[in-house]
Amino acid sequence: MTLSCADRPGIVHAVSGALAAAQGNITESQQYGSPDSGSFFMRVDFTAPQTYESVRAGIEPVADAFGMDFELHQAGVPVRTLIMASKDGHCLNDLLFQQRAGNLPIEIPAIVSNHTDLAGLAEFYGVPFHHIPVTADTKQDAEEALRALMSELDIELVVLARYMQILSDGLCRELSGRAINIHHSFLPSFKGARPYHQAHARGVKLIGATAHYVTSDLDEGPIIEQEVIRVDHSRTAARLAALGAGVEGRTLSKAVQWHAEHRVLLDGRRTIVFN
The residues annotated as belonging to the active site are 219
Check if the beta carbon of residue 93 is closer than 8 Å to that of residue 64.
no
* 223-230, strands of its sheet edge to edge: 129-131, 106-113, 79-85, 157-160, 179-183, 206-213, 223-230
Q: Please, what is the Cα angle at 156 between 105 and 163, to 5 degrees?
A: 90
Whole-number Å distance between alpha carbons of 104 and 244: 22
Q: Please, what is the Cα angle at 249 between 199 and 139, to 5 degrees?
A: 85
Whole-number Å distance between alpha carbons of 196 and 203: 10
Alpha helix segments (H runs only) across 67-216: 90-100, 119-125, 139-153, 169-174, 195-202
Distance of CA 70 to the CA centre of its chain: 18
Residue 224's CB is within 10 A of a number of other CB atoms, namely 24
Query: How far apart, in Å, do the first and last CA atoms of the chain sit?
Result: 15
- Phi-psi sector, 194: left (phi>0), alpha (psi -120 to 50), beta: left
